[in-house]
Structure formats: structure tokens, C-alpha cells
């Protein structure tokens, strides 16, 4: 009995324990389900921030990827032309070192920059630059030479208007890294500009450009593939101009910025055929070829064929371009380049003569600022 009662007690005790456990379980359930009734944003705020942040990061990196790809595509396209023009070494022996810009890290940019200025299979551009001693001369020639370093197959013909070659130009050319020919050809005294003459009064550069043409005719022949370009030292040149110059079959023309009183003086060209249908010049539009010296290139074979074509002294100012062009071509033969004459790759910037009144005072006192320093 005692056993039975003890057993019954045992059973009751067990039931009570189970009930207690059940209650405990229930309270746990209550506790956990109780959380479900808290507002959603409290429960999920931190998780929501995490998820939104993650999505934002994903979206951002997707956009970055797309922008990178577009940049690469643009770089590839714009450099394709250079690649095509910079293949193997043939005509020039001196390799030209072209530094790689530090910012250039995308796609093939670095590889492409390494090919810039290196010899290619294309024609050699013979750029004729008349120059004379003046305060801005070294600055002008430095600007030009460092643009020309970017041009594959480039030969610079520098002609000094002086009875002797000057050390400044000798040294500048020797350290330029360019292939060059250095000539001096003084303008005959009769034609020299007086101190107060405006620069249009007498033709400038005639003696020098003719000396360069004679050098070309004496030193080059039909076996050479080249284009002649008159690159005055008071202009600014884009390296893209020289890609256009390599396309000149006989005589090519293109727009020139900041000349003739206009933002751009240019031939009007048919885009499909490259034929020149007219010119937009306002200054002396009746010139046979109303374009600037920087606005045309002549193939070497034309210069050799028309072996007497030269610039002349006794002609009206602004007619030098027409003078040479009328001896070698006709208007209807001109090849309009630079994307149908729609792009400006050269500007007649004309460096302003610097103000040196203080220097003149110092010089009179024998205290020039540039004694022993080449400027
Ligand atoms: C052309 O000039 C080169 C030297 O620059 C010479 O070797 C070649 O024989 C010349 N050709 C003719 C046809 O005169």
C-alpha cells in the first residue's frame, strides 16, 4: 500500500514536473512568438541597412565596370590609327624615346604610347620651319620639337634666317631626339623688315623655305616616300595633324584655327569624296588659294616633278601660299583632309612678343639678367 501510495505520489510528482516543463515550454514559446509582434522596422532595421548597403555596393561596382569598359573602348578606338601607323623600322635609324604619361594605365594605352614617335611604314613628313633669333625663339622651337617627337617618321628641316648657324639652334636640335637637317639662309638685306615695319610689309620666310625646297630636291628622289609641310614656329600643332599629312597623295588641305581674322579658316569639302568645293576665307577671298601656310601639305613626288616651284619675293602679302600652290596644283585637284575639313589640328597662335622694358634698362647698365644663361 505504502508502495502503491508511494508509487501514486511518484506518478503525481512526474505529472507535476511535466506540467511545469510544459508551462516553461509555453512561456518560451510565448517569449519567442512575442518578438514577432514587435514592429517590422525595429526587427529588421539593421538587416535592411546591411542588405541595402550590399545592393548599393554591387550596383556601384557594376557601374564602375561599365564606365571602365567604355573608357577602354574609347582609348582603343582613338589609338587604333596610331597603332596602324607605327609598325616597323625602315627609313629612320635613330629610335625616338617617347616617355609614357604617368596617368596612362588603361587598356593598351601604355603599349600604344611605346609605339608613338617610332618609325613606321608610312611616308616621312618633311616639316620645313624657318626661324630667326628673337626672345621667344627657344620657347617656340622647344614647343615644336616636343610635339614632333610624338610623330612617327618625322624629319625636321630647320632653316635659320642668319648668316651663320646659331649655337642656340645647333644645341636645341642636337638634344631634341629628332631626325633633322639644319640649314642657314639669310634673307637678302633688301628684303629684311625694318625695325618698325609691320610683319606683313615684306614677305617673310621666302629665302628659308626656298632653301629647304632646294635641299629636298638635291637630297631626295622618287625612291623616297614623303610629304612636305611648312611648319612655321609660331603655330601650335596637334599630333593628329601629322596623321592627316601622311594621307596626302598630291596636295592636301585642312582647316587652320585662329587665322585670317576668323576662329577657323578652312576649305569647304565634300565629306564622301574629299573634294574641295570652296573656302570660307573672308580676308582676301579672291586669292587663288585662300588658305594659310599651315593649312596644306604637298607630296614629295609633286615637289620633285614641279622642280622649279618656289616661293617668290615680289608678290602681294598673303599670296605666298597661292604662289607655291598654283605652281603645283589646281583647286579641283585638292584633297580635303581632317574628317572632310571639319577638324582643327593646327592653330596660328602667334606668341606675343614679351615685355622686356626692364631688361633693356639693365642691358644698358651692362647687367642683363641672362648673362651666361640661354633663354
Ligand atoms: C635615290 O637616293 C638614294 C640615296 O638617298 C640612292 O641610293 C638612290 O640610288 C637614288 N635613286 C635614284 C633613282 O636616283
* Structure confidence by residue, pLDDT tens digits, 91-103: 344 444 555 555 6
CB-side exposure of 58: number of CA atoms within 13 Å?
6
321 as an active site residue: the answer is: yes
- 151 lies in the same domain as 268: yes
Q: Is 314 part of any domain?
A: yes
Q: Is 234 marked within a binding site?
A: yes
The total of structural domains in the chain comes to 2
Our mutation pick for probing the ligand 1 site, out of 215, 223, 301, 304, counting the most ligand atoms within 8 A of Cβ, is 223
Tell me what the mean pLDDT of segment 70-88 comes to.
Answer: 54
What is the predicted pLDDT for the residue at 88?
35
What is the predicted pLDDT for the residue at 191?
73
* 98-123 burial: b if 16+ Cβ within 10 Å, else e: beeeeeeeebbbeebbebbbbbbebb
What is the predicted pLDDT for the residue at 203?
74
| 312 contact partners, CB below 8 Å, separation of at least 6 | 203, 206, 320, 323
Q: Is 2 part of any domain?
A: no
What is the predicted pLDDT for the residue at 98?
54
Q: In this predicted model, what pLDDT tens digit does every residue of 135-145 receive, in sequence order?
A: 999 999 999 99
Helix (H, G, I), strand (E, B) or coil at 86: coil
Q: What is the domain-level CATH number for residue 237?
A: 3.90.550.10
Q: What's the DSSP call for residue 346?
A: E
Q: Is 31 part of any domain?
A: no
Helix (H, G, I), strand (E, B) or coil at 118: coil
User: How far away, in angstroms, is 222 Cα from ligand 1 center?
Assistant: 8
User: How far away, in angstroms, is 91 Cα from ligand 1 center?
Assistant: 13
Tell me what the mean pLDDT of segment 23-41 comes to.
Answer: 52
Ligand 1 binding pocket (C-beta < 6 A) is 221, 223
Residue 309 pLDDT exceeds 80: yes
- 202 lies in the same domain as 105: no
- 144 lies in the same domain as 293: yes
pLDDT-derived band at 26 (thresholds 50, 70, 90) equals: very low
What is the predicted pLDDT for the residue at 2?
46
Residue 261 pLDDT exceeds 70: yes
Q: Which of 321, 323, 359, 374 is catalytic?
A: 321
Q: In this predicted model, what pLDDT tens digit does every residue of 328-343 receive, in sequence order?
A: 999 999 999 999 999 9
Tell me what the mean pLDDT of segment 21-46 comes to.
Answer: 55
Distance of CA 367 to the CA centre of its chain: 41
- 83 lies in the same domain as 145: no
Q: How far apart are CA 122 and CA 216, in angstroms?
A: 18
Residue 348 pLDDT exceeds 70: yes
- 112 lies in the same domain as 234: no
What is the predicted pLDDT for the residue at 109?
55
- 113 lies in the same domain as 174: no
Strand-pair partners of 142: none
Q: Is 157 part of any domain?
A: yes
Domain residue limits at 85: 41-121
- 145 lies in the same domain as 128: yes
What is the predicted pLDDT for the residue at 29?
46
Looking at per-residue confidence, does 152 or 2 come out higher? 152
- 132 lies in the same domain as 218: yes
Residue 164 pLDDT exceeds 90: yes
Q: In this predicted model, what pLDDT tens digit does every residue of 176-231 receive, in sequence order?
A: 999 999 999 999 987 765 566 655 556 789 999 999 999 999 999 999 999 999 99
What is the predicted pLDDT for the residue at 64?
78
Distance of CA 135 to the CA centre of its chain: 27
Residue 345 pLDDT exceeds 90: yes
| Total Cβ atoms within 10 A of residue 328 | 18
Amino acid at each position: 500500500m505504502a508502495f502503491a501510495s508511494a508509487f501514486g505520489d511518484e506518478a503525481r510528482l512526474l505529472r507535476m514536473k511535466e506540467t511545469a516543463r510544459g508551462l516553461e515550454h509555453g512561456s518560451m514559446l510565448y517569449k519567442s512568438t512575442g518578438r514577432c509582434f514587435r514592429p517590422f522596422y525595429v526587427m529588421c532595421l539593421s538587416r535592411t541597412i546591411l542588405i541595402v548597403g550590399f545592393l548599393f555596393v554591387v550596383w556601384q561596382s557594376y557601374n564602375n565596370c561599365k564606365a571602365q569598359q567604355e573608357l577602354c573602348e574609347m582609348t582603343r578606338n582613338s589609338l587604333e590609327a596610331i597603332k596602324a601607323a607605327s609598325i616597323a623600322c625602315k627609313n629612320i635609324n635613330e629610335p625616338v624615346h617617347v616617355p609614357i604619361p604617368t596617368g596612362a594605365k588603361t587598356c593598351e594605352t601604355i603599349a600604344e604610347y611605346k609605339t608613338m614617335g617610332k618609325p613606321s611604314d608610312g611616308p616621312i613628313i618633311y616639316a620645313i620651319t624657318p626661324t630667326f633669333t628673337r626672345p621667344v625663339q627657344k620657347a617656340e622651337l622647344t614647343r615644336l620639337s616636343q610635339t614632333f617627337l610624338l610623330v612617327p617618321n618625322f624629319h625636321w628641316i630647320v632653316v635659320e634666317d642668319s648668316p651663320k648657324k646659331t649655337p642656340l639652334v645647333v644645341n636645341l636640335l642636337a638634344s631634341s631626339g629628332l631626325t633633322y637637317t639644319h640649314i642657314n639662309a639669310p634673307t637678302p638685306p633688301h628684303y629684311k623688315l625694318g625695325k618698325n615695319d609691320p610683319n606683313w610689309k615684306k614677305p617673310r620666310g621666302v629665302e628659308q623655305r626656298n632653301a629647304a625646297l632646294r635641299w629636298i630636291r638635291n637630297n631626295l628622289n622618287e625612291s623616297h616616300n614623303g610629304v612636305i609641310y611648312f611648319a612655321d614656329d609660331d603655330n601650335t600643332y596637334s599630333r593628329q595633324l601629322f596623321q592627316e599629312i601622311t594621307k596626302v597623295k598630291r596636295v592636301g588641305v585642312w582647316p587652320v584655327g585662329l587665322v585670317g581674322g576668323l576662329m577657323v579658316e578652312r576649305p569647304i569639302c565634300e565629306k564622301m569624296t574629299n573634294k574641295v568645293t570652296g573656302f570660307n576665307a573672308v580676308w582676301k577671298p579672291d586669292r587663288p588659294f585662300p588658305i594659310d601656310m599651315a593649312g596644306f601639305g604637298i607630296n614629295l613626288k609633286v615637289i620633285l616633278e614641279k622642280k622649279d616651284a618656289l616661293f617668290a619675293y615680289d608678290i602681294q602679302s598673303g599670296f605666298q601660299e597661292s604662289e607655291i600652290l598654283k605652281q603645283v596644283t589646281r583647286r579641283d585637284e585638292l584633297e580635303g583632309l581632317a574628317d572632310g575639313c571639319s577638324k582643327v589640328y593646327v592653330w596660328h597662335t602667334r606668341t606675343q612678343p614679351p615685355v622686356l622694358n626692364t631688361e633693356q634698362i639693365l642691358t644698358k647698365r651692362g647687367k642683363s639678367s641672362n648673362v651666361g644663361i640661354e633663354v
